[in-house]
A and B are shown apart, each in its own frame.
Chain A
Amino acid sequence: MKVTVDAALCNGHGECVVEAPEIFDLPDDAETAVILHPDSPDSLRPKATRAAALCPVAAISIKD
């Protein structure tokens, strides 16, 4: 499962980090969220889906 964050849209809200810290991180001095692993296990799909739904700027995409 490939999860991506559109850095142009990301505003550093950090909802994704709250929902799925296994996938997303927002380092203390960073403006945008980062993906921790380019390929995430499918077991994390529910969390990734939830993070995408809760991103205030709809910056998260999930592809198989």
Chain B
Amino acid sequence: MAGIVIVGAGLAALRGAETLRNLGYDGDLTIVGDERHHPYNRPPLSKQLLAGTQDERACRLDTDRARATWLLGRTATGLHPARRTIELDDATELHYTKLLIATGVRPRLLPDQPRMSNVHVLRTLDDALALRAAALNSHRTVIIGAGFLGCETAATLRTLGTTVSLVDVADHPMPALGPEVGARALAWHAEAGVDLRLSTGVSEILGQDRVTAVRLTDGDVLPTDLIVVAIGAVPNSEWLRASGLTTWHGAVLCDDRCLAVGHDDIAVAGDIAAWPHQNGDIVHVEHWSNAAETAIVAATNLLTPDDPIHHHPVLSFWSDQYDRKLRAVGVLDGADTVEVTEEDRNRLVVEFRRDGALTGAVTVNAQDRYLRHRRALRDAQHSTPAAV
């Protein structure tokens, strides 16, 4: 008997399973994951694991409290909500009493991503181990995409001694944080010796069996030993195509109980979830804390959908690059005023306001400010009950 089934075996799956057990669910629990690994923590993959300062055991998460049956190396290929079954790639059918979808996202590939060796992505533990091995044998790396992952990878690879070119169509790194933070990020990467190629894209990857160079849209050709493609992610929702579940740009749409629209016995958590903000906009993020928080809400409401808790988070995420600990909280889009309120060589605080009210903040090496803003945004939201 599969009992409650969780499809996906990452952080959201694990926290969901633990929540079910914490709330007294004692029945069968089956977790299906397409990787051969038990759940591991993803943030160290682009930092400590890639740098070699931690090994893969340090990334592992404790799975004892889940008390689950683990079906690893198995991929879900279909879902039939009316029959409450899912299909796996080995033609097994699992019947569930309740289902948690937590299949996450995978790296977006270049439009004509070549099958050359030394063209890497970085999402899974296996990706990180392969990238580290390649980087240790490379003198030059081109990272395509200067978002959070591209920036962290650049910082880490600089410590491994490879020259790094960081390419992005935007005119500054981490475009999501806006130009004020972006300009400073540009400076700290340049200071670390990263060859920044901004406002340009990639027109061609050159090489036969192995990559040899990257041609940029501005005409420059960068000889390289290694490429990392870090241009975003795509939801793993193809297996749900025939299920009837509502999707939103590939993410699975749930309500603010993290239950799939129209299905109180199906919950959604982690990077694959999209849900409505109180203002009606649909939210989809790939933040670590959101994976854990949606998992808690999803699992709780699978057990008691009629007495739900609601997912109204104050969004937050972090990125560590060199000796800079970047923390971001709240909503940065839609701000009409962006103010740098603190800045010295090490410390940065940028506040985002709309109609005079703080909507979000980005801090670098200013944990005290970050926590203060975070609490303030949380308190300001207390008129609507947050998830317990």
Contact = CB atoms under 8 A, between A and B. Distances in A.
A49 B300 CA distance: 14
B293 interface: yes
Which residue, A14, A50, A53, has most C-beta atoms of chain B within 10 A?
Answer: A53
Nearest to B62: A58
A53 B43 contact: no
Interface stretch (B100-108, B239-247, B350-358, B371-379): B371-379
Interface string B20-59: 0010000000000000000001010000000000000000
Contacts of B168: none
Contacts of A28: 367-368
Interface string B339-377: 000000000000000000000000000011011001100
B375 A18 contact: yes
B289 interface: yes
A54 B293 contact: yes
A12 B320 CA distance: 12
Contacts of A57: 41
B43 A56 contact: yes
Contacts of B18: 53
Nearest to A50: B296
A14 B61 contact: no
A38 interface: no
Nearest to B317: A56
B19 interface: yes
Interface string A17-54: 11000000010100000000000000000100110011
A46 B387 CA distance: 12
B91 interface: no
Contacts of A15: 289
Nearest to A52: B18
Contacts, number: 39
A18 B62 contact: no
A14 B293 CA distance: 15
Interface string B218-239: 0000000000000000000000
A15 to B, nearest CB: 7
B289 A14 contact: no
A53 B62 contact: no
A50 B15 CA distance: 10
Given A53-B19, A56-B288, A18 B371 contact: yes
A54 B22 contact: no
B248 interface: no
Contact of A58 (B41, B318, B374): B41
Given A18-B375, A28-B368, A53 B288 contact: no
A26 to B, nearest CB: 7
B370 A14 contact: yes
B2 interface: no
A53 B269 CA distance: 14
Contact of A14 (B19, B292, B296, B371): B371
A14 B288 CA distance: 14
B82 interface: no
Which residue, B289, B296, B318, B367, has most C-beta atoms of chain A within 10 A?
Answer: B367
A14 to B, nearest CB: 5
Interface of B: 15, 18-19, 22, 41, 43, 61-62, 288-289, 292-293, 295-296, 318, 325, 367-368, 370-371, 374-375, 378, 388
27 contacts: A12-B367, A13-B318, A14-B367, A14-B370, A14-B371, A14-B374, A15-B289, A17-B371, A18-B371, A18-B374, A18-B375, A26-B367, A28-B367, A28-B368, A46-B388, A49-B22, A53-B18, A53-B19, A53-B296, A54-B289, A54-B293, A56-B288, A56-B289, A57-B41, A58-B41, A58-B61, A58-B62
Given A13-B318, A18-B371, A28-B368, 11 more contacts: A12-B325, A18-B375, A49-B22, A50-B296, A50-B388, A53-B15, A53-B18, A53-B19, A53-B296, A54-B293, A56-B318
Interface of A: 12-15, 17-18, 26, 28, 46, 49-50, 53-54, 56-58
